[in-house]
Amino acid sequence: MIKLIPRTTLLTLLVCCTTFIAKAQIGYNYAQYDIGTSVGFNKVYGDAETVTTMPSINFNFTYNATPFTNFVFEVQLGKLRGGDSVLTKSGRYFNNDFSAFIFRGQLQFGEFLDYSNSRFNNALKNLYVSAGIGFVRNNITQISRNSEKVPGYYTGGDDKSREPFIPLRIGYEFKLYNRYSQPGIKIDLGYGYNYVLGDGLDGFTAGSKNDVYSQFTLGVKFSIGAAAISYRKQITY
């Protein structure tokens, strides 16, 4: 009986310590991986004289080094369009069924802000900036190279091309927490500025400036895997 008491006491202490540690981690733990999708609304700023907004669908996989430092791989599939073959002087018009592949780093303000005692900082912690490297495959399915207003005016270019680009992005990630105060679902609202290192996005080779396409995106991400990683400070307040 005397030997049994210390063992029982030790077991009780162990259970209490385990429970205390588990409770202490509520609000600190997070999952390392997310999968998600988004819709994009894209505009090309190139050699066509008018700009048209066109849709895309995007798929992404995210590695979370911390809740606020992320590395994102993304695939974009959609259309880019611009110009008018009848109403513009150059007659340029194009439709690009494009695909893009992006790897970028993402830094949210919560990584360096103290948001524990400030409602403003707590709201600001989910704001992020992002940059990386991308690769776009251009597939021009419709194009007008001749002008109806200027006889003999012609704009050359390639119907198919592949070009690297630099994706720059700013956005906000609304985090929805599960019952353990861990980020489970994330709603992402962002604006992207993609600087193409070439002149083939619209199928026209004209002028001295490279092409650019911008995006407004609205997406959702889902945390996957066990939330076994603990952050250095509480994530939610």
Domain boundaries of the chain, sorted by first residue: 32-226
Per-residue pLDDT, 128: 99
The Cα–Cα gap between 3 and 112 comes to 52
pTM comes to 0.87
* Pairing of the two strands 69-83 and 93-108: antiparallel
Position with higher pLDDT, 103 vs 17: 103
Could you read off the pLDDT of 56-82 as tens digits, one per residue? 999 999 999 999 999 999 999 999 999
* Bridge partner list, 183: 177
Amino acid at 97: D
Contact 165, 158 (CB under 8 A): no
Backbone torsion region of residue 225, taken as left when φ is above 0, otherwise alpha when ψ lies between -120 and 50, otherwise beta: left
Q: Classify domain 32-226 at the CATH topology level.
A: Porin (2.40.160)
Tokens of 21: 């540690």
What pLDDT does residue 26 have?
73
Averaged pLDDT for residues 45-62: 98
Could you tell me if residue 149 is left (phi over 0), alpha (psi between -120 and 50 degrees) or otherwise beta?
alpha
pLDDT tens-digit readout, 162-206: 999 999 999 999 999 999 899 999 999 999 999 999 999 999 998
In contact, 40 and 216? CB cutoff 8 Å: yes
Say if residue 16's pLDDT is above 90. no
